[in-house]
């Protein structure tokens, strides 16, 4: 994708019936922006990043952010920051598709 340009991130969502879909919107040495797309019932298992912070912003759908010690309800407009080393994941508990913008810094 050519940048800089204005886009609607959700238009670039990729869905996979077998597992969470991923699409990279932008990547440099400093930052990566991408989409995590979930069919109902799909999840991104609990994991952590060393030396990287991640911001999740829900664009469409609903579900839960899974953290090491709890779950936090999410729906469109909600944002969560997963700092370096904090275990996190996502589960689509809704009946509709879930699209989450993920911003990682530094880029993987």
pLDDT higher than 90, residue 1: no
For residue 100, CA distances in Å to 36, 75 come to 5, 10
The pLDDT tens digits of the residues spanning 63-102 come to 999 998 899 999 999 999 999 999 999 999 999 999 999 9
98/41 Cα distance (integer angstroms): 10
Domains of the chain: 31-105 (2.60.120.10)
- Closest among 90, 32, 19 to 61, alpha carbons compared: 90
In this predicted structure, what is the pLDDT of residue 90? 98
Q: Which of 52, 49, 78 is nearest to 65 (CA)?
A: 78
CA-based nearest residue to 102, from 39, 45, 50, 32: 32
Q: How far apart are CA 21 and CA 75, in angstroms?
A: 18
Binned at pLDDT 50, 70 and 90, residue 2 comes out as confident
Give the pLDDT confidence of 30-66 residue by residue, as tens digits. Answer: 999 999 999 999 999 999 999 999 999 999 999 999 9
pLDDT of residue 57: 98
């Amino acid at each position: 994708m050519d940048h800089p340009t204005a886009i609607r991130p959700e238009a670039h969502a990729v869905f996979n019936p077998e597992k969470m879909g991923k699409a990279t919107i932008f990547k440099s040495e400093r930052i990566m922006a991408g989409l995590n797309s979930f069919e109902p019932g799909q999840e991104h298992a609990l994991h952590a990043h060393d030396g990287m912070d991640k911001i999740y912003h829900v664009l469409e759908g609903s579900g839960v952010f899974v953290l090491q010690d709890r779950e936090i309800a999410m729906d469109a407009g909600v944002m969560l920051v997963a700092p370096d080393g904090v275990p996190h994941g996502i589960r689509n508990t809704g009946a509709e598709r879930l699209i989450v913008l993920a911003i990682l810094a530094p880029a993987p």
